[in-house]
Amino acid sequence: MNASFDFLSQLATIVGERHVLTASDRIAGYLIDVRKAYEGQALCIVEPADTLEVSAVVALCSDHDVAITPIGGNTGLVGGGAVRSKKVADGNERPGIGLSLRRLDRIREISALDGTITVEAGCVLQKIQEAAAEADLYFPLSLSAEGSCQIGGNIATNAGGTAAVRYGVTRQLVLGLEVVLPSGKVIHGLKRLRKDNAGYDLKQLFIGSEGTLGIITAAVMRVMPAPKATATAMVALDSIPAALEVLRRMHAAFGERVTSAEITERAYMDLVLKQLKAARPAFPETPTWSLLLEVSDSRDGAELKEPLEETLASALEDGIASDVLIAQNEAQAESFWYLRHGVSEAIRHAGPNMSHDSSVPLERQGDYVLRTRERILERFPEATPLYVGHLGDGNMHLVVMFSPDRFIDRAAYSAVSSELDTIIDDVVVELDGSITAEHGIGLSYRSRLARTKAPAEIELMQGIKAVFDPRNIMNPGKLLPA
Amino acid sequence: MNASFDFLSQLATIVGERHVLTASDRIAGYLIDVRKAYEGQALCIVEPADTLEVSAVVALCSDHDVAITPIGGNTGLVGGGAVRSKKVADGNERPGIGLSLRRLDRIREISALDGTITVEAGCVLQKIQEAAAEADLYFPLSLSAEGSCQIGGNIATNAGGTAAVRYGVTRQLVLGLEVVLPSGKVIHGLKRLRKDNAGYDLKQLFIGSEGTLGIITAAVMRVMPAPKATATAMVALDSIPAALEVLRRMHAAFGERVTSAEITERAYMDLVLKQLKAARPAFPETPTWSLLLEVSDSRDGAELKEPLEETLASALEDGIASDVLIAQNEAQAESFWYLRHGVSEAIRHAGPNMSHDSSVPLERQGDYVLRTRERILERFPEATPLYVGHLGDGNMHLVVMFSPDRFIDRAAYSAVSSELDTIIDDVVVELDGSITAEHGIGLSYRSRLARTKAPAEIELMQGIKAVFDPRNIMNPGKLLPA
Q: What is the pLDDT of residues A174-207, one digit of tens each?
A: 999 999 999 999 999 999 999 999 999 999 999 9
A178 touches chain B (CB under 8 A): no
pLDDT category, A375, cuts 50, 70, 90?
Answer: very high
Output the pLDDT for position A250. 95
Q: How many Å lie between the alpha carbon of A333 and the closest alpha carbon of chain B?
A: 23
pLDDT category, A2, cuts 50, 70, 90?
Answer: low
Partner-chain contact A195 B248, CB within 8 Å: no
Output the pLDDT for position B482. 84
Q: How many Å lie between the alpha carbon of A204 and the closest alpha carbon of chain B?
A: 6
Partner-chain contact A359 B194, CB within 8 Å: yes
Partner-chain contact A191 B307, CB within 8 Å: no
Does 3.30.70.2190 match the CATH number of domain A229-344? Answer: yes
CA distance A395 to B156: 28
Which residues in chain B have their CB less than 8 angstroms from residue A220's CB? none
Task: Say if B2-103 and B351-439 have the same CATH topology.
Answer: no
Q: How many Å lie between the alpha carbon of A226 and the closest alpha carbon of chain B?
A: 8
Percent of chain A with pLDDT over 90: 89
Domain ranges of chain A: 2-103, 107-225, 229-344, 351-439
Partner-chain contact A195 B169, CB within 8 Å: yes
Which of A24-28, A61-65, A396-400, B467-471 is the least confident region?
A24-28
| CATH top-level class of B2-103 | alpha beta
Which residues in chain B have their CB less than 8 angstroms from residue A308's CB? none
B197 touches chain A (CB under 8 A): yes
Q: How many Å lie between the alpha carbon of B33 and the closest alpha carbon of chain A?
A: 20
Q: What share of chain B is helix, strand, coil (3-state, %, to 5)?
A: 40, 25, 35
Label residue A362 left, alpha or beta by phi (over 0 means left) and psi (-120 to 50 means alpha). Answer: alpha
Output the pLDDT for position B34. 78
Mean pLDDT confidence for A454-470: 98
Which of A92-101, A345-354, B214-223, B325-334 is the least confident region?
A345-354
A184 touches chain B (CB under 8 A): no
**Is the Cβ–Cβ distance between A99 and A66 less than 8 Å?**
no
Averaged pLDDT score across all residues of chain B:
95
The topology (CATH level 3) of B107-225 is 3.30.465
Which residues in chain A have their CB less than 8 angstroms from residue B360's CB? 193
List, as ranges, residues 339-398 from A with C-beta within 8 Å of B: 359-363, 390, 392-395
Output the pLDDT for position B2. 64
**Is the Cβ–Cβ distance between A57 and A100 less than 8 Å?**
no
User: What contacts B346, CB < 8 A, 6 or more positions away?
Assistant: B268, B271, B272, B274, B275, B276
Partner-chain contact B198 A452, CB within 8 Å: yes
**Residue B206, amino acid:** F
Partner-chain contact A456 B185, CB within 8 Å: yes
Percent of chain B with pLDDT over 70: 100
B114 touches chain A (CB under 8 A): yes
pLDDT at B5 over 80: no
B173 touches chain A (CB under 8 A): no
More confident residue, B89 or A31: A31
Long-range pairs for A15-19: beta carbons < 8 A, 24 or more residues apart: A15/A46, A15/A47, A15/A48, A15/A49, A15/A53, A15/A57, A16/A49, A19/A46, A19/A47, A19/A48, A19/A49, A19/A103
Mean pLDDT confidence for A291-295: 98
Q: Which residue of A has its CA nearest to B195?
A: A437
Output the pLDDT for position A19. 98
Output the pLDDT for position B441. 95
ipTM score: 0.96
Output the pLDDT for position B301. 84
Q: How many Å lie between the alpha carbon of A264 and the closest alpha carbon of chain B?
A: 19
Mean pLDDT confidence for B379-393: 97
Which residues in chain B have their CB less than 8 angstroms from residue A224's CB? 255-256
CB atoms within 10 A of CB B348: 12
Q: How many Å lie between the alpha carbon of A22 and the closest alpha carbon of chain B?
A: 32
Partner-chain contact A467 B468, CB within 8 Å: no
Which of A7-11, A103-107, A238-242, B256-260 is the least confident region?
B256-260
Averaged pLDDT score across all residues of chain A:
95
Which of A118-122, A313-317, B16-20, B87-91 is the least confident region?
B87-91
Partner-chain contact A197 B436, CB within 8 Å: yes
Which residues in chain A have their CB less than 8 angstroms from residue B213's CB? 200
B445 touches chain A (CB under 8 A): yes
A229 touches chain B (CB under 8 A): no
Pairing of strands A96-100, A68-71: parallel
Mean pLDDT confidence for B12-32: 95
Helices A240-254 & A305-317, crossing angle to 10 degrees? 140
Output the pLDDT for position B256. 85
Nearest to A113 among B363, B393, B457 (CB): B363
Which residues in chain B have their CB less than 8 angstroms from residue A155's CB? none
**CA angle at residue A103 from A100 to A104, to 5 degrees?**
95
Does 3.90.1150.10 match the CATH number of domain A351-439? Answer: no
Q: Which residue of A has its CA nearest to B160?
A: A195
**Residue A246, amino acid:** V
A157 touches chain B (CB under 8 A): yes
**Residue B342, amino acid:** G
